[in-house]
Amino acid sequence: MSLRVHVATGLLEGVRQVLSPHHDARPDGVAADLLVIHNISLPPGEFGGPWIEQLFNGHLPPAVHPYFAAIHGMRVSAHVVVRRDGEIVQFVPFHRRAWHAGASQFEGRPACNDFSIGIELEGADDIAFADAQYDVAREVIQALLDAYPTLSPTRLVGHSDIAPGRKTDPGEAFDWARLRA
């Protein structure tokens, strides 16, 4: 698979789009120059199902699982999610500010949502990620590097790096060397 970003729309060509309302404009003059890797599973440690899409679109049903009741109403999103089977779902155009990082800081610069792109992998801190996820994540990252000259492979971090003490993802099961290979 060879991915390409349509720069005018900020969308990956040929992937499923489920556009989230949980995004807004980046500050004037600010371009993305940081890539942030996350993990997500809903309920925690369980994979598949419609729950990530429903969370990112504000439709997570609180009665389905006790954890959902705790996070119901959160307004969060990421630019893309890579499912366990390698499927890519895009939620926010890359030139827009997705609400993925929360309270965060990188190299002394706060509010990472302003200048980053969030890539979620369906997974958990302590569960091995699928082979397809590494392959597809590398393709997504390469497509972003090709489309946006402000991005660099040296500015690829985990959520835990920009929100230490608050976030632990992508977790100890994530193989950074494998992603960067």
Q: Which residues are catalytic?
A: 120
Give the CA-trace dihedral at 11, 13, 18, 24, to 10 degrees. 0
DSSP 37: E
Strands 96-98 and 23-25: antiparallel
How many helices (H) and strands (E) the chain has is answered by 5, 12
Backbone torsion region of residue 102, taken as left when φ is above 0, otherwise alpha when ψ lies between -120 and 50, otherwise beta? left
DSSP 150: T
